[in-house]
Amino acid sequence: MNIFFPDNIYGGMAQAVYLPFQLLAATVLFESKKSILWLVLLFGVLLVGCRALDLFFTRNIQNELLLLYICFFGSVTLEVFRQIYHADMVTTKIVIAAVCGLLLLGYCGFYIFLTIEFHEPGSFNNLGPGVQAMNDLFYFSYITILTVGYGDITPHTWIAKNATVLVALTAYIYSLVVIATIVGEAVHVRKKSVAATERKS
């Protein structure tokens, strides 16, 4: 979707389009866990409210927005991980969930990097001015979790370097665990199928 809103992925029209879809996805994800669903929906409603306040009032509430985004995407990411881990068998739904988990890690990394840059400007080298800095951090987060490392944007401060290591390490461990889980389940199902066929023979 960011291709359609290249100028400002964090605010304005982009978030007005993204947020309802993200809330709907969270509702479906947590439908079997009503208590957590209400908490996640509360984060979502607060996000919508804060975004509206941010548009209409002069007081800057970026810190509150970032905290809400981290809580919202963090809880969604953890639930996706939990569902993948507890899956009984490998299905298309689980494979799609694994891809979503990786995308969510990128989002979480983006909000962590954004928080660092807001509190300590200049934490990352070669960011564009103003809103472009947020777009660059979004790009940097995904380049980091994919371990591409072009080097066009780099962490400068100690906290930014540590956060980059944390995001990259989390994505790397996630990839290893998810791939191992999916492959392990597929092999287990295959063995059961072969054993059942042999018993019939």
The residues, ordered by sequence, that sit 6+ positions from 6 with a Cβ below 8 Å of its Cβ are: 135
pLDDT given for residue 51 in this prediction = 65
In this predicted model, what pLDDT tens digit does every residue of 48-104 receive, in sequence order? 676 666 555 544 556 667 777 777 778 778 887 777 777 777 677 777 778 888 888
pLDDT given for residue 61 in this prediction = 57
User: Which has the minimum average pLDDT: 33-47, 66-80, 136-150?
Assistant: 33-47
Q: Cα torsion at 101, 107, 110, 115 (round to 10°)?
A: -110
Provide mean pLDDT across the span 195-200: 72
Higher-confidence residue of 63 and 5: namely: 63
Q: How far is CA 93 from CA 34, 98, 182, in A?
A: 21, 9, 12
Q: Is 137 helix (H, G, I), strand (E, B) or coil?
A: helix
Is residue 175's pLDDT more than 90? Answer: no
Higher-confidence residue of 20 and 122: namely: 122
pLDDT given for residue 99 in this prediction = 81
| Radius of gyration from C-alpha coordinates of the chain | 20
| Separation CA 168–CA 106 (nearest Å) | 10
Provide mean pLDDT across the span 25-38: 73
| Separation CA 131–CA 174 (nearest Å) | 30
pLDDT given for residue 5 in this prediction = 55
Contact in structure between 81 and 73 (CB atoms under 8 Å): no
Is residue 112's pLDDT more than 80? Answer: yes
User: Which has the minimum average pLDDT: 104-108, 143-147, 185-189?
Assistant: 185-189
Single-letter code of the amino acid located at 91: T
With bands split at pLDDT 50, 70 and 90, how would you rate the model's confidence at 160?
very high
Q: Is 125 helix (H, G, I), strand (E, B) or coil?
A: strand
For residue 92, count other CB atoms closer than 10 A to its CB. 7
What integer best gives the mean pLDDT of the chain? 77
End-to-end Cα, the chain, rounded Å: 52
Token reading at 48:
């919508």
User: Strand 124-125 vs strand 154-155: parallel, antiparallel, or unpaired?
Assistant: antiparallel
Higher-confidence residue of 164 and 63: namely: 164
Contact in structure between 183 and 163 (CB atoms under 8 Å): no
pLDDT given for residue 58 in this prediction = 45
Please give the full DSSP string across 8-60, using - where no structure is assigned. Answer: -SSSHHHHHHHHHHHHHHHHHHTTT-HHHHHHHHHHHHHHHHHHHHHHH-SS-
**pTM beyond 0.85, yes or no:** no
